Chains A and B, each alone.
Chain A
Amino acid sequence: MNERQQKALDSLTGVVEGIYDQLDGGDIPAMELPLRSKKNIEFDSRHSVWTYGDLKTSRTAKTVNGAVMMLRTVYTSDFINDMIRDSKSSTLREMYYISEGWNNAKFHSQDESNLLAEDLETITGCMREDFKLRPEESGAHVYGDLNFTTMTKKGMKTMNCIDDVSEAGFAVPYKVEEDTFQIDPGNTKFIMAIETGGMYARLIENGFPEKYDCALVHLSGQPARSTRRLIKRLNEEYDLPVTVFTDGDPWSFRIFASVAYGAIKTAHISEYLATPTAQFIGVTASDILNYSLPTDKLNDKDIGALNAELSDPRFADEFWVTEIQTMLEMKKKSEQQALAKYGLDYVTDTYLPEKLTDMGVL
């Protein structure tokens, strides 16, 4: 058992003890948690990321919801305790199924069990990985001339992310901390995180990573924690600039925000996950105009999302307000792959070099 695990164990026992003492003292068990909403995220200037503020929500056993959540806390703590002792780990989904035997504490959906794991993180200040809980593989991949040394069934192994992997790249594991995951940046000069698999494959096929000494990270939609953590480590430990290349729509802006500023649901660990210096390549609303890209109409949900972003403190800077308002005005959105309008090589020969030069990366 390492130090982190011991700390996790002690913190969880502390939580259970709190509940026990309240019951033993004849009180109604209650807990305070940070309010996990965009109303309660603040800029942490020390880490330059967004974290939870001081607003709290209280949970009390007076309501069925509150009582059940506390009962689950006790059961989950006990379960994690057993796993740490037995050197086992489980996926969040497995925990959801294990709860079948927990009577009233049973989870009714996986969202509930995910939420509880995050609750425990915020209460204890530990990370999910310390609790030996892991998510499903996310599907995120890395391609580029850098080397990862990581734990395999046959011990620690070093792999180059061009030579030793398939065309799809290196699959990112759920835990990328130093103890089991070491990084050698090789010749890599910068990182490009890409939203869609189509664009990731296009860049590999066109030889973009080799030509510009760039490592590509396929985010596969909203990036999983380990993907964000890996990007953070590459940036923080090896000083590699990070760029993000997504579709041009409100949802993609949020993907960038969670890479750069931290996601609201995981704001308690933003300092581990967010890469504040990450830069947004596009597709921006201005790109749509400047490159006259083919577009789709914004639907009502898109417009709602854009308006919500205008009141999101993470987007409250000049660049984003302008971009969002431009998009709202033209009522259009576009995809990364719309650049193929000018041919398959256009993105690697023209668009990216132009944008990256403007940004000072090249």
Chain B
Amino acid sequence: MPSDSENKKPASTTKKKAPTAEQMAAKQQEISVTEFFEKNKQILGFDSRSKSLLMGIKEAVDNSLDACEEANILPDIEVRIDKIDDEDYHISIEDNGPGIVYRMIPNVFGRLLYGSRFHALRQSRGQQGIGISATVMYGNITTGKPAHVVSKIEGEFEMANEMDIVIDTKKNRPITSNENVFKWEGKDHGTRIEYTIKGRYITGKQSVFEYLKNTAIVNPHAQITFHDPEGKKYVFERATDIMPPRPKEIKPHPEGMEIGDLLKYSSNSAQKTVAAFLKNDFSRITDRLTKEILDISKVDGSKSPGKLTREEAIAILDAIKQVKIMAPPTDCLSPIGDTLIKKGLMHVLDGLRPEYYATPVTRSPKAVNGNPFVVEAGIVYGGDIPSDSQVQILRFANRVPLLYQQGACAITKAISEMDWRRYGLEQRGGKGIPFGPAIILVHVASTKVPFTSEGKEAVAGFPELQSEIGLALRLCARNLKSHLNKMERKNKTHAKFEIVQEILPDMAKKAAEHLGRPVPNLDRTITRIMNVVWIEPSVKKDGKSKRTVTYTVYNYTSTVRTFRLHAQLPKECLKDLSVYSSPYFLDINDEGKANWEIKDIQPSTNVSITFDLTGDMADTFDADDIYFSGLNPVMVMGAEMLPGDWGIKGMEIVESADDYVADDDEKEEEEDEDLDDE
């Protein structure tokens, strides 16, 4: 409690004199970028111990993947976490990337904002180049220990360099020590960064393990090894040797540009005139457009871009809004692609034995405000995925998993706004995150992914992106729904197959045995019950990369049948010639669309088509995706009718003239249970 005397002090004595501008100036000083970040760690995502641990690893792994991609190397990344004491962890991340030349090492790891590409746009993981040095700095600040970097570039006579690095936070400059040059045995090229950081190791949804697992899903070309603090080792094996295409750099697109951007570009430009600057430093600006912009803005095209005034810049921006500029090129993006998404999901989620991987969807790229973007989606369903909780959402931006701020993310929003009940998932009131045994994956790739914050944890929404995500999800969900329908149909029809394949033969055998008579021939009875051509797929797993697919075709009708079967095979898996050797094989096209003809199959007989699929993609083939043509669809079970857009000339469907009996599956009249029985 303040004493009375204090309270009674006259107002005049407590009133402080206003500090003069001079006095204030004495206190004002330059705050370096580094210092700013030290004081605002949470901006970079270092806002909790467990998150700090994850962020550091994330930055390092993202950089490694980017570097490997750029150098066209299949990434091999090893992450190791050792617990030193309660809060201190020693982290080591080693890659097989191209390495870093000696003179650049300190800058890459010890200088914030270094190497940022301000004037070229490219789909990359890091995007800002702020990450790894922030990690080094955070380690320095929290534990006082320097980071240690080892790197070697390719070359028979190249030596490896190693050094300790701390960051001078005032000057944003690296200070190195303990430099050493040595021969890195057994390593052709690559980089290892080690640092000590205050953190907390956790498991679960926002853990390092989860991050690496999700990274493996969208980077099936990478091999990632993880040693957790308890000494357990996890290996996410490489699922494919196919490198993703290298994202191309593009020049900025003028649309959506701010005045500051334009002035920055113009002052840095190497061009001699404003006209050349406009034409050469931006994408999609032609000679004609240059002239139009200069005409409208009334800016002298021959002056040096460095001398562009603010007013002139504003005039140019106005002019840009008035002319019609083509959307930016979209070939600079590198989506993962439907096959590889499926492959990645299958590879990593195999332990859950999902029942179905909905064919992933890669939308065609779109551009908004000069930024191209592309959306991809995939859904995994069934198996051991828990069915009584919300679906799991895997969010990715430029192949980087997003683990935090799910609720704030445009991806989550798009999922919540869809009515999933139509697609076979539960959802209360048709809004919100659906429930069911599913995992939904969404990947947004762009030269500039709009994040909600500098921590890059949630994608910010804008209408075009929102609608693209919705469209991708709907396409994917439709695949899921048609699978669920198919399974339901299959279960129903399979019951009949069970009757004729198991129950009737057993009944005939047992009855014959009981009566001491010969086992009767069931062909006619079976034909009467079925009256269809039955196609039964089966897949035999032979090791990791071989699948033997067999289609057994039963003619359960009373007439001789001729028709065709069609399937889209993963063509890279047809290295051996087994598919060609089937007597029913007709042809296969470049896309892997294969056709077979079953000629004159006799009633009550069956034939089989067998072939092997080998290689990485063998397991991506779904044997249930088999189509037929040349038969009345009511006569076929186990295959779908060839869709019109399959791209091959299907045989004409001849209405069969025989006695097709409508399926009268009427239920047996319910045998009412009465209540009053013994």
Contact = CB atoms under 8 A, between A and B. Distances in A.
B674 A35 contact: no
Interface stretch (B523-531, B567-575, B587-595): B523-531
B503 A225 contact: no
Contacts, number: 133
B671 interface: yes
Contact of A57 (B664, B668, B677): B668
B449 to A, nearest CB: 53
A350 interface: no
A71 B672 contact: no
Nearest to B517: A20
Nearest to B678: A222
A258 interface: yes
A81 interface: yes
Contacts of B577: none
Contacts of B508: 20, 23
Query: Contact size class for A?
Result: 35 or more
Contacts of A26: 523-525, 528
A19 B511 contact: yes
A29 interface: yes
A257 B678 CA distance: 12
B678 A263 contact: yes
Contacts of A66: 668
A17 B671 contact: no
A197 to B, nearest CB: 17
Interface in A40-74: 57-68, 70-71, 74
Interface in B465-508: 495-496, 498-499, 502-504, 506-508
B674 A20 contact: no
Contacts of A266: 677-678
Which interface residue of A20, A138, A254 has the most chain B CB atoms within 10 A?
A20
B503 A104 contact: yes
A77 interface: yes
B463 to A, nearest CB: 52
Interface string A221-265: 011110000000000000000000000000100110110000111
A63 B665 CA distance: 7
B510 A71 contact: yes
B515 A23 contact: no
B525 A223 contact: no
A74 B503 CA distance: 11
Given A63-B667, A71-B503, A263-B678, A37 B512 contact: no
Interface string B213-251: 000000000000000000000000000000000000000
A11 to B, nearest CB: 13
B612 to A, nearest CB: 33
B669 interface: yes
A22 B503 CA distance: 15
Contact of A254 (B499, B667, B671, B676): B676
A68 B503 contact: yes
Given A26-B525, A61-B503, A62-B529, A265 B674 contact: yes
A100 to B, nearest CB: 15
Contacts of B39: none
Interface string A133-170: 00000100000000000000000000000000000000
B11 interface: no
B668 A27 contact: no
A260 B502 CA distance: 45
Contacts of B510: 71, 74-75, 78
B529 A38 contact: no
A23 B514 contact: no
A223 B513 CA distance: 39
B513 A78 contact: yes
Given A13-B514, A70-B507, A36 B525 contact: no
Nearest to B496: A64
B674 A38 contact: yes
Most-contacted residue by chain A among B511, B528, B669 (CB, 10 A): B511
Contacts of B496: 64
Given A24-B520, A66-B668, A74-B514, A19 B507 contact: yes
A105 interface: yes
A178 to B, nearest CB: 22
Contact of A20 (B511, B528, B669): B511
A67 B505 CA distance: 11
Given A77-B514, A78-B514, A223 B678 contact: yes
B329 to A, nearest CB: 59
Given A65-B668, A70-B507, A222 B514 contact: no
B18 interface: no
Contact of A39 (B515, B664, B672): B672
B285 to A, nearest CB: 70
Contacts of B498: 64, 104
B675 interface: yes
B507 A74 contact: yes
B408 interface: no
A28 interface: yes
Interface string B84-106: 00000000000000000000000
Given A13-B515, A26-B524, A35-B671, A264 B503 contact: no
B678 A258 contact: yes
B672 A37 contact: yes
A251 B677 CA distance: 10
A229 B668 CA distance: 32
Contacts of B671: 35-37, 57
A154 B427 CA distance: 70
A264 B522 contact: no
Given A74-B510, A75-B510, A67 B504 contact: yes
Most A Cβ at <10 Å: residue of B495, B507, B677: B507
A264 B676 contact: yes
B502 A104 contact: yes
Given A28-B528, A66-B668, A81 B514 contact: yes
A59 B520 CA distance: 21
A357 interface: no
A361 interface: no
A304 B330 CA distance: 70
Nearest to B665: A63
24 contacts: A16-B515, A17-B515, A20-B511, A24-B521, A26-B525, A37-B670, A38-B672, A58-B668, A63-B499, A63-B667, A64-B496, A64-B498, A67-B504, A78-B514, A81-B514, A104-B502, A105-B506, A138-B678, A222-B678, A254-B676, A257-B676, A258-B677, A265-B677, A266-B678
Interface of A: 13, 16-17, 19-20, 22-24, 26-29, 35-39, 57-68, 70-71, 74-75, 77-78, 81, 103-105, 138, 222-225, 251, 254-255, 257-258, 263-266, 305, 308
Given A57-B669, A263-B678, 14 more contacts: A13-B514, A20-B520, A26-B523, A37-B670, A39-B672, A63-B668, A64-B495, A66-B668, A68-B503, A222-B677, A263-B677, A264-B676, A265-B677, A265-B678
